[in-house]
Amino acid sequence: MELLTKTLFLCLALALTNGAPAHHDAAVDDASLPDRCDGIGFDAITPDEKGTTFFFRGSHLWEGFHGPAQLSNESFQQLDDIHNIGHVDAAFRMHNIEQLDHHDHIYFFLDDKVFSYHDQALEEGYPKEIQQDFPGVPSHLDAAVECPKGECMTDSTLFFKGQVVHVYDIATKTVKTKTWSHLPVCTSALRWLEHYYCFHGNNFTKFHPVSGEVSGVYPKDARSYFMKCPNYGHGGDYKVLKCSDVKIDAITTDDAGKSYFFAGPIYMRLDTWRDGLHAFPITKSWKEVTNGVDAVFSYADKMYLIKDDQVYIYKAAAHYTLIEGYPRTLKEELGIEGHVDAAFVCPEDHTVHIIVGRTIRAIDLSATPRAVTQERPLPFSDIDAALCSAEGINVFKGATYYNYESPMTLAMSRIAPEPLNVTRAMMGCEE
């Protein structure tokens, strides 16, 4: 498949390091508005339920990783003089799937008060004393950040005051305190794509949410990663595509439920919509794959990336690691030859279905050696990608896709069904 740089979906620089986003900010035209590039930093940072990240300073905010400042009460109407809020001390998005009436709500903290918002509207009964909602959490906070179970021991919130961290257990409403004297005093904090960042002035430091450990060279300048500023940053500007212009090279979901699509030199995690959808260079996670992919599939905690006649197999862990002895040829690994257009494995299945031209081939991945067990014609060609899930099989061709109930219905079909259009919910494109 042709490597089209126009398939870059987001305004994101490709040269990213250590998992931090390199988004871009337009120059501020109105001199009366605060400039996020001035190095002062932020009072609070939080995403909302839609994955949009808000950066707060004084009475203003920035919506997303690019764009000019605006008054906070233009997005959160009750952040105004009626409630005597000129700024916020800290903010976070609640992660509490056990209580959906609180899940994804945004909490703002000011002095000894807490304000709860949902869909940018202040909830009835707020503001409250912090102790009413978060017993044991001090007033006059510096920062706060959500920490879901699996990243912390339980669904928790980290509250920062000086170098003391108050770890609040959402379910039990209990607090444990830790002192992280090795961290700077965080003026705001952000969880982004399962990584945690302490912001201090114009810098940030990435830390582990349980131990507070800092790995790598920090601090880094936020102006090179979380915004576009003159003389800062790295990479290029990429525009969000219209859904009618979408063309992907591969798509897959791994055993951990992480979904990826690949297009040209980039990939995007599709399951991270709560943090916003963001593109990265393929070489960031699969450094040996330097020229895009033709097809990708996941099986048995491994990810198979196919390019030309080569198969790269990576162990899926915290970081993808190429298995020793790879890449190998398609013939050696799967017993086939030719240009692969798409590949997919259905959940709990041991068969990979490979689309080559107008044919679909089934290969038993549990067999040794691997060989084609079935081959059938297809009613179309020039397929870009395919994905199997509990909702069936989606076969992508440009900005459209075909949906099939199962591999059998796909293999037995003789007439292509009505094509469906790729949507924003699927790919993060503009409709």
Q: Is 234 annotated as a binding residue?
A: yes
Tell me the backbone φ, ψ of residue 38, rounded to 5 degrees.
-80, -5
3-state secondary structure 170-222: CCCCEEEEEECCCCCCCCEEEEECCEEEEEECCEEEEECCCCCCCCCCCCEEH
- Token digits of residue 252: 């897959």
Binding residues for heme: 234, 278
Binding residues: 234, 278
